[in-house]
């Protein structure tokens, strides 16, 4: 559907007249303000990652736990791939995000090529999971308090400040408006079969002589290249990984020489004895969200395969829903990482991850990719042909 985007004020938003999706947001911070936020976060990151988040007193010994030490403990225990998943979502992605914003601010002054950074920013936003790790700190605190006295560390204040700044930055980081600011293009004024939408920079226009977007220079296709195949492959793989993720132990704790293995569900039931509300949060993130995403994605992919003409509005809303909730499933891995940093006293009291952690992390990432790779325009094809109505 082709329409001209209106000019909106800072307190206004523009929505698609057909599906009610937000197509323009008036909230737009200046690049100087975004750059200042990025510099503030860069200054906070070393303290938030390396200073103690929690402090444990066990048998007269003080144990300090921080984010980087937990990741190192995962690597040292023989799980480098799982540790890399946690590292990417809590360290690498946030660091690259704020560095990219600082690059935009400096590159705009020096006249540098900003296209690669803008292309990366739009994809990177959903992988910044500092807020989810903060919830993981709360969950880990409740799990550990049964074994020893726990108190907040000095790094917790820096980490909370980093989370607040990152949330504000992500809310006000409007990549589409940055494209319009740095690389303005004349919008199309009338419907034309030759017009194409660029999914990378969201520009609608005519491709250049090489079939690329005139603004971001990425190749244009009528539909995402191999979108269905990639989405199916990621979804089926995630379903395979979820079986061992839920059947095998995800955490192992040694108390006075005795070993206790916990699966995802048994760990939730054990946590419910201490705090039902927190156990409900973990159940939502670790059980409900992954299986809901798989069921929804199966429904969407099958409906595309059989050219379903009913329930188009419901399917569009379901796709938006799973896009929003998918990242919360990483909570369990974050809890394990921090707990490993807190409890490691040899045979007297020790905590380590089980084999299910890798399968669970892989399943979560694959479901996120399955949603990201699905070209939502495939759901609209039946509507465009006149065989389906948007209203259920």
pLDDT score recorded for residue 94: 96
333 or 260, higher pLDDT: 333
Instruction: Indicate whether 8 belongs to any domain.
Output: no
Which phi and psi angles does 275 have, rounded to 5°?
-155, 110
Identify whether residues 266 and 285 lie together within a single domain. Answer: yes
pLDDT score recorded for residue 391: 60
What is the arithmetic mean of pLDDT over 173-192?
A: 79
pLDDT score recorded for residue 191: 65
pLDDT category of residue 26 using cuts at 50, 70 and 90: low
Domain limit, last residue, from 222, 239, 272: 222
Instruction: Say whether pLDDT at 213 is over 50.
Output: yes
Identify whether residues 140 and 38 lie together within a single domain. Answer: yes
What is the arithmetic mean of pLDDT over 219-228?
A: 81
Identify whether residues 145 and 231 lie together within a single domain. Answer: yes
Instruction: Indicate whether 6 belongs to any domain.
Output: no
Identify whether residues 143 and 196 lie together within a single domain. Answer: no
Which strands sit side by side in the sheet containing 258-262, from one edge to the other? Answer: 258-262, 251-255, 349-353, 344-345
- Tell me the C-alpha distance between 216 and 201, whole Å: 6
Cα separations in angstroms, 92 against 35, 87, 125: 18, 6, 12
pLDDT score recorded for residue 389: 60
Instruction: Report how many domains make up the chain.
Output: 2
Q: Which domain holds residue 363?
A: 13-184+223-384
Identify whether residues 146 and 207 lie together within a single domain. Answer: no
What is the arithmetic mean of pLDDT over 19-38?
A: 76
pLDDT category of residue 27 using cuts at 50, 70 and 90: low
């Amino acid at each position: 559907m082709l329409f001209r985007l209106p000019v909106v004020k800072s307190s206004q938003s523009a929505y698609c007249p057909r599906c009610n999706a937000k197509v323009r947001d008036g909230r737009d911070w200046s690049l100087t303000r975004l750059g200042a936020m990025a510099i503030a976060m860069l200054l906070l990151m070393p303290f938030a990652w390396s200073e103690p988040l929690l402090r444990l007193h066990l048998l007269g010994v003080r144990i300090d736990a921080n984010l980087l030490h937990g990741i190192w403990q995962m690597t040292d225990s023989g799980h480098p791939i799982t540790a890399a998943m946690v590292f990417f979502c809590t360290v690498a992605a946030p660091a690259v995000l704020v560095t990219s914003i600082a690059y935009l601010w400096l590159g705009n002054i020096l006249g540098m090529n900003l296209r690669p950074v803008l292309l990366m920013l739009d994809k990177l936003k959903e992988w910044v999971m500092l807020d989810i790790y903060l919830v993981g700190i709360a969950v880990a605190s409740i799990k550990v308090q049964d074994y020893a006295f726990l108190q907040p560390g000095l790094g917790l204040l820096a980490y909370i400040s980093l989370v607040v700044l990152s949330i504000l930055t992500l809310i006000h980081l409007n990549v589409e408006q940055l494209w319009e600011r740095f690389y303005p293009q004349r919008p199309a004024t009338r419907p034309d079969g030759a017009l194409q939408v660029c999914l990378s920079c969201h520009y609608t226009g005519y491709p250049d002589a090489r079939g690329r977007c005139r603004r971001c220079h990425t190749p244009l296709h009528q539909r995402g290249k191999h979108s269905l195949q990639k989405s199916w492959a990621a979804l089926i793989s995630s379903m395979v990984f979820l079986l061992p993720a839920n059947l095998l132990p995800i955490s192992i704790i040694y108390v006075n020489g005795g070993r206790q293995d916990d699966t995802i569900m048994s760990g939730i039931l054990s946590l419910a004895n201490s705090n039902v509300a927190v156990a409900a949060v973990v159940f939502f993130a670790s059980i409900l969200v992954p299986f809901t995403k798989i069921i929804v994605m199966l429904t969407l992919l099958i409906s595309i395969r059989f050219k379903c003409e009913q329930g188009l509005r419901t399917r569009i809303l379901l796709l938006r829903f799973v896009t929003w909730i998918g990242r919360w499933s990483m909570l369990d891995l974050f809890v394990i990482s921090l707990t490993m940093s807190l409890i490691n006293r040899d045979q007297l009291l020790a905590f380590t991850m089980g084999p299910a952690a890798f399968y669970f992390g892989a399943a979560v990432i694959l479901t996120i990719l399955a949603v990201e790779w699905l070209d939502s325009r495939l759901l609209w094809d039946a509507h465009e042909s006149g065989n389906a109505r948007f209203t259920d």
